[in-house]
Chain A
Amino acid sequence: MPTSVKVKTLRIDGRDVSAREDQTILEVARENDIWIPTLCHLDGLSPVGACRLCLVEIKGSTKLLPACVTAVEEGMEVSTQTEGLESYRRMILELLFSERNHVCSICKSNGHCEMQTLAQRLGLTHIHFPYRYPSLPVDLSHELFGMDHNRCILCTRCVRVCAEIEGAHVWDVMGRGVDARIICDLNQPWGTSETCTSCGKCVHVCPTGALFERGRSASEMDKRPEFLPYLTLMRRAGGE
């Protein structure tokens, strides 16, 4: 670390903490064992601030700000667990559950799903928004992996890991709004992709059961995203 980096002190949930000036609120909170829920964020990938679960209150600001992209500032007073925030977080998760078809009991990621874990931790007991029940396809054309759009929450982790880490950019998002969907190459079956290297990184960063290894039954698909921080660390070491 260059010695010129300045240190900032701030307050999170009433605790005084110190941080490097280039850190985000989320990074500092995690270093200090303060839990902030996230779904689209993953260490090692560029932040997008899209899931809105990590919104926090900052004294003096009327707007809620995403902890994953907001840089620390001297004297900042951050609240991460107010009643208002918790209610917003539960509603956002509810919206996600209502958007597509998340049926945990038959999902390959049941028990290993980040969305499920978050719902439990936030005390989400039922969904009071009407379910949309869209009819979405499952792509089983790839010999090793599958993609179930019914479980996809459009967090774009797969898009980012493939473009930023693997360098293949097989995935992207098509359309917009509620009709947006993750696509492979020119919106074609995964198995016909000319760009996919079958590395499986997308599968293991996927927070839900949308991307999975074939041959797994319900509850069998545990994800191993640990490669990502390790890879990032190694690449940084290689660059120095």
Chain B
Amino acid sequence: MILPPEKQPMPSDDKRWRLVATAMRRHGYKSHGLIESLHSIQETFGYVSEDALKFTAKMLRVPLSQAYGVASFYHYFNLKPLGRHSCVVCRGTACHIKGSAQILSDLEQLFAVRVGETTEDGSLSLLSAQCLGACGIAPAVVLDGVVMGRAEAESIVHRVEEVVAA
């Protein structure tokens, strides 16, 4: 038997699931609220877990494969947990022209991590963005949510090192 969305059991006792359920209710538990629900999950938990996907699929009555298909189509959604710190290097045209590739490869080398992945000790996730729209201050890097403009490879790498070590 399929329970109505209001009666679905939460995946765990974690109170934060209520926030997610509220976002789903805002869209009337309709399937078109899938992406908005995934946003709410990522905002709440930092990533979209398998449990979260199952829960969403049930609540919105979306097939499991469709939920996974959507979540994996959009690169903004992380299907694995992120590290304690995150560093996003913009790879837009202006940033590319101004040397973002160097910044990325320096960071990859220093932290022994490939872009899109998290270091083994879980301290840093190194990510890239196609364009942050901060071209006027290129190259741009976002460290733990703070945008840093006119980034120079050396100083940026140093800054990331400091933050991760702290």
Chain A interfacial positions (CB closer than 8 Å to B): 163, 168-176, 183-187, 195
Q: Which residue of B lies closest to A182 (CB)?
A: B65
Q: Is the CB of B69 within 8 A of A172?
A: yes
Name B62's closest neighbour in chain A (CB-CB).
A169
Asked whether A186 and B50 contact (CB < 8 A) given A170-B65, A172-B66, A195-B63, the answer is yes
CB within 8 Å of A: which residues of B?
50, 53-54, 63-69, 72-73
What 7 new A-B contacts, CB under 8 Å, besides A175-B73, A186-B53?
Answer: A172-B63, A172-B68, A175-B72, A184-B65, A185-B68, A186-B64, A187-B68
Question: What are 24 A-B interface contacts by the 8 Å CB criterion?
Answer: A168-B63, A169-B65, A169-B66, A170-B63, A171-B65, A172-B63, A172-B65, A172-B66, A173-B69, A174-B68, A174-B72, A174-B73, A175-B72, A175-B73, A176-B73, A183-B65, A183-B68, A183-B69, A184-B65, A185-B65, A186-B50, A186-B64, A186-B65, A195-B63
**Nearest-CB distance from B109 to chain A (Å)?**
25
Tell me which residues across on chain A come within 8 A of B68, comparing CB atoms.
172, 174, 183, 185-187
Interchain CB contact under 8 A, B69 and A174: yes
- Min Cβ gap B82→A in Å is 19
Report Cα–Cα, A183/B67, bound state, in Å: 11
Separation of A172 and B63 alpha carbons in the complex (Å): 9
- In the complex, A176→B69 CA distance in Å? 9
Query: A5 CB to closest chain B CB, in angstroms?
Result: 33
CA distance in complex: A100, B69 (Å): 21
Q: Point out the residues of chain B lying under 8 angstroms from A176, CB to CB.
A: 72-73
Name, among A175, A176, A185, the residue most crowded by chain B CB atoms within 10 Å (CB to CB). A185
Ranked nearest first, the 5 interchain pairs of A and B with the lowest CB-CB distance are: A172-B65, A169-B63, A172-B69, A174-B72, A185-B64
By a CB distance below 8 angstroms, the chain A residues around B73 are 173-176
Residue of A nearest to B69 (CB): A172
A172, A175, A183 interface centre (most CB from chain B within 10 Å): A172
> What separation, in Å, do the CA atoms of A135 and B46 have in the docked complex?
31
Min distance, Cβ B141 to any Cβ of chain A, angstroms: 25
Closest to B79 in A: A187
The distance in angstroms between the C-alpha atoms of A163 and B31, with both chains bound, is 15
B52 → A minimal CB distance (Å): 11
Q: How far is the CA of A184 from the CA of B64 in the complex (A)?
A: 8
